[in-house]
Structures are given as structure tokens and as C-alpha cells.
Chain A
Amino acid sequence: MTSTNTVADETPATAAGSVSGAEIRLDGVTKRYPGQREPAVGELSLTIPAGEIVMFVGPSGCGKTTSLKMINRLIEPTSGSITIDGEDIRKQSADDLRRQIGYVIQGGSLFPHMTVGRNIALVPRLLGWDRAETRQRVDDLLDLVGLDPDAYRDRYPRELSGGQQQRVGVARGLAADPPVILMDEPFGAVDPITRQRLQDELLAIQRELHKTIVCVTHDIDEAIKLGDRILILKEHAEIAQYDTPDAILAAPADEFVEDFVGSGAALKQLSLSRVTDVELSRRTTARVGELTSEVILRAQENGDNAVVILDERNRAVAWRFLRQLRRHEKVVGGDRESLVTVDQRATLNDALDTMLVSGHGGAIVCGDRDRYLGVIDFHAVTDFIEQVGEA
């Protein structure tokens, strides 16, 4: 209890760098449903280290979701015990327990009759935070997940796109700053590009917050990308392998894991290498409101045919060709939401995908809170692959 309270008091800024997550331990956890001979989850024991992202993967019906839901007691285990930070989860009421565990579900599962702000504020209000504190928290979280608080706070979920709804879902899961966050196929309902973006954002958030995140997915690529560790389950939640992505790719425990990881293990290394591993190229940048003529001159000196436009918070809002710039006397902003970028923690695989969409033969790379870092281009990736191949 005490540890969760201190965690709740910390703002994301002060928590940066330190581990705010809690260790989760499952010991011989079994779930049997009446009328079924085989248990849904049989004797599952594992330790989830504090501050790590652990991905549960496996074929459908393997009990990964059941295992997840037993951690916040949406499903009560038949036998075995689960502890969070050393405390048995049955010590307090299920409702109290759940208020200290973030829960993020596929599609966001936002309440359609509440505004975005009220959706996020639910858990803080349940925990008795005062109004001003809650309002500040809602705005901070919207900002954290890349939505402008003034534009989105009072909107209703159906006014948002699928990706935006999912972002709000993540914000709601983080609302009370819980040490543990459970995610059930969080990005399953959005298109591939949005999914990649959301994954990048999650990694960026985790870089700041260091929560313990348990995430269920059926997508091994997502698991490799997001997971500090991956738990691969067979039927009845039998552990096939529980290890880091590198170790699983390098040495699959058995044929089941090999099949599950797939044949392209060499190419999957692209999913392990991050954008930060590659040298970014510098491109001409411009501020919103600058004189177009000066910007174009600068770009021509650098030999660039396009310019990255930044807003006052150093976030890229557009990437325009010079001929597009010439239409206006001063540099105009763009809709940041519609600009496709990759996070510095994104995998090279994702970066390649993004480059194909962008039309610039490269992709804008951004860091924490969408700060612009540079551009990754196709040559950099191919050079990197060659280097790795030679090594």
C-alpha cells in the first residue's frame, strides 16, 4: 500500500529515470472452469520484474488473456497466489486493487457518454483526488499521449478516430499513475501505421515512466518490438519460453517457439534494431511564421528539396517540398496529427514502412513528447544492414 501511495504522488517528470513499477509474482496459478476437464491456465509460475514490459503471446485460446485478467482479479484463480510488490492481491477488495492497476483494452473501450476528460478522470475521482488536481492530471496525460488538451478534453469518444480513442484509452490506464499496467491487445483494432505509432508512443511513455507493463498480444512482431521480455505460452498457459526478445530469436527453446516466431528470424532482427542505432541525417528546418524566401535560400544552400517545419515546442508539424512552400509568403503550420513520423525507439522495420508512405525517401524521427530529432533515410538503413551482415 505505502509504495503505491508514494508512486501516485509523483508526477511523471520527477519519476523519469527511476523505476516506478512494482514486481509481479505468479505462483502456481491455476484456473479451472466448471465442466471443463482441462484447466484454462494450469500451474503458471513466473516473475515479472519491476519496470519492465512483459509481453504475453501465444495462439488463441492459450490462456494468455485469462492469465492477465487474474492479475487484476477480473477472473479469480482457482488456486495459486499472485503478489504485487510482495503483497497478496487478495488482501484488499477487488475494486481497491483495480484502482491501483492501470487497465487498457482493445479499441480503448471508452465510455461513449462521457467526454474524453471525464473518461480519463474516472479513476482519479474514484481515488478521491480533488477537482483541480484531477483536471491538471487529465491535461498532462492528454499531452503525454500526444493529444492537445484544449482540443480534445471536452470531445466525446465518437468524435475521435480509432487511433485517438486508443490513445485516450492509454491515458485512462495511466491516469492514477499506477505502478502496474495491464494491456489486453491494446493496439489490435487500429490500422498498421497507427498501430506502429501507438507502439512508438508507448515506448516513449515507458522511457519516462518505467511502469511494470503486462501486455497480451497475438502478434509476435509486436511482442519483439515492445517487450523487454516475452512470455510465449502453449495451451493451458504452459510456458514455452520466457526470455528477452534477443534470446528468443537467437535460441528458440523448442519447435513450438520456432514455429511461432516464424522463419524470417534474420529479417526479424530489423525488428530488434532501433532507429537510434542508425545515424540520422540533418535536414533544413523552418519555424512556423518564418519568411518563405529565407527558408528556401537556406534549403538550397544545404541542397535539400524539402523542409521540415517545426512548431514552438520543436515538434515537426509538416514536411514540405520547396514548391509547396512557395505558395505562401510565410511558412504555415500543418496538422501534426496527419504527419507520419517514427519514434527514436521505433524499429528499423517500422522506419522502412514509414519511408514507403512518406514520399520523401525518408522518415522524420522524433524523441520524447514528439521533439524533432532528425531524418532517417533509406541509405542509412541499408548501410546499417550491410554493417551488421559484415560483423
Chain B
Amino acid sequence: MTSATQIEAEVEAEVEVARPRARRINGEGIVELLALPVLVVIVFLGYLWWRDSAHLDAIESSSLNWAAVRVQTWQHIRLTLVSAAIVVWVAVPLGIALTRRGLRRAAPVVVAVANAGQAAPSIGLIVLLFIWLPSWSGFWVSVLALTLYGVLPVLRNTITGLQGVDPDLVEAARGIGMSAPSTLRRVELPLALPVIMSGVRTSLVLIVGTATLATFVGGGGLGETLNTGITLFRFSVMVSAALLVALLALVVEWFGRVLELVLRPRGI
């Protein structure tokens, strides 16, 4: 009898089983994605409570007044987004060029230069550029410095991402008659996008932190309040500014994650 049931089982056994539907995100990912904003909101509410109940002297309350903080936060965000946009605009095409035949050999050299750019102390970079470019406004000097600083992760990830695309797929694309630019646009870039986007996120977080230094060349941002706190030795001002920068960085990081998820092509 066992043999009969065995045969039955074999007859009904599936030879080819289709795999489950592809999804962008699973339950665990959603929890992870929601945890961060919740944390940010809780900490920010805690700060509001403290700000409301603490006794502040004249200097403290003038540097922590909401109008000023709002302006600086907006400047900070603007510095970050403008720099990041330029980074993407420069680093992605550069990364693409460095993976094409002909320029491929130059890739290590360019990456080494970008590496050096990032290894240079950021404060030194900002001040040097300020001295070299006296006619530039503080904002654009800061943007230039932040851009140089943030290029590396995007450049490196663009190169890595494109190199990581299965060469068989590229050959398949060419083999069915897609032109080289079309293969890049419709096959290589979409497949490399997750890696490139994680570079963009790293770069965003780097830039948002470093943008604190823009205040030294008159570029604005939350660094102003932080600097006031340090020079006037007002502990509450210092910590407040540091906390706000940290929260902003977390929000930017979260934004980067959402961007990564939204732009990720389905099916991979």
C-alpha cells in the first residue's frame, strides 16, 4: 500500500513551482521605516517640553527663539538639498563615464582623487575655498565644499552598481538589438539604481552633518546657533543646536531610505 500512496504523491507532486509574487517591501521593512520618524517625533516633543519649562537667560532665549531656529533649519536643509542635487548631477554621469569602455582604466585614479577629497578635513576645505573664491557668497562656497565632500559615496556606488550588473544581461540586451545608450538607460541604470541610491543616502547624511560648518563662511544653517552656544559658553544653546542637527540628520536619513524604496525597480 505504501508504494501506491507513494506513486500517488509523485503523480500529484509539482514539477515546476512558480515562485511567490515579488514585493517591494515586507512587514519587517515597514516597521523599520516607521520606527525612525516615531523616534524623531518623540525626541522633538521632549525638546519642546523642555524648551517650554526651562528657565533661560536673555542670551539663551534670544538665540533659541523659534523664528531664528526656523530660518537656520531652512538654510540647513537648502544647503543639504542643493549640494546633494549637484552631487548626483556630477557623480552619476561621471560614474557612468568611468564604467564605459575607454575610460574604464581611469576609474581607480578618479576614485582615489575623490577619496582624497573626502579625507581632507572638511573645515579646512570650506575655509580654503572661501579664501580662494572671495567673490562667491557664503552659501555657494559652502555648497561647493559640501559637494566636493559628498561626491565620493555616489561616485563609488555608481561605479560599483554598474559594474555589478550581470554582464550576460548587458550582452543579452545588445544581442536582441538594443543600442548602447538604450542598454544603459533601460537595463544597466535601473539594475544599478538600488546601489546608486544607497550611495546618495550616505552622501545626504554626510552633507547634512557637515553643513553645520557653513556658518564659518557665512553660509548659515544650524551651525550658527551651535557656534553661539560654544563661543558664549551656553550649554543649553549648544545642546539644543546639536540635538536639532541630529534630528535633522535622522529625518534626512529617513528621507533617503524612502527615496531608495520608491525608486527601486520592482522585480529586483
Contact = CB atoms under 8 A, between A and B. Distances in A.
Nearest to A115: B267
A259 B245 CA distance: 75
A135 interface: no
A1 B178 CA distance: 19
B176 to A, nearest CB: 5
Interface in A155-173: 155-161, 163-164, 172-173
B174 A338 contact: no
A358 interface: yes
Contacts of A194: 15-16
Contacts of A360: 11
Interface string A109-137: 10111110000001100100000000000
A122 B171 contact: no
B175 A159 contact: no
A335 B169 contact: no
Given A74-B171, A109-B168, A159-B22, A103 B14 contact: no
Contacts of B191: 111-113
B16 A109 contact: no
A268 B176 CA distance: 35
A324 interface: yes
| Contact residues on B (Cβ < 8 Å of other chain), bracket | 20 to 34
B163 interface: no
Interface string B1-23: 00000011011111111111110
Nearest to B171: A74
Given A115-B267, A126-B178, A164 B11 contact: no
B14 A338 contact: yes
Contact of A337 (B7, B12, B15, B169): B15
Contact of B175 (A74, A100, A126, A338): A74
Given A113-B268, A158-B268, 18 more contacts: A74-B174, A95-B179, A97-B177, A105-B172, A109-B168, A109-B169, A111-B173, A111-B186, A112-B267, A113-B267, A123-B176, A126-B178, A159-B21, A161-B16, A163-B16, A194-B15, A338-B16, A338-B17
Interface of A: 72, 74, 95-100, 103, 105, 107, 109, 111-115, 122-123, 126, 155-161, 163-164, 172-173, 193-194, 319-321, 324, 335, 337-340, 357-360
6 contacts: A98-B174, A103-B176, A105-B168, A112-B267, A112-B268, A357-B10
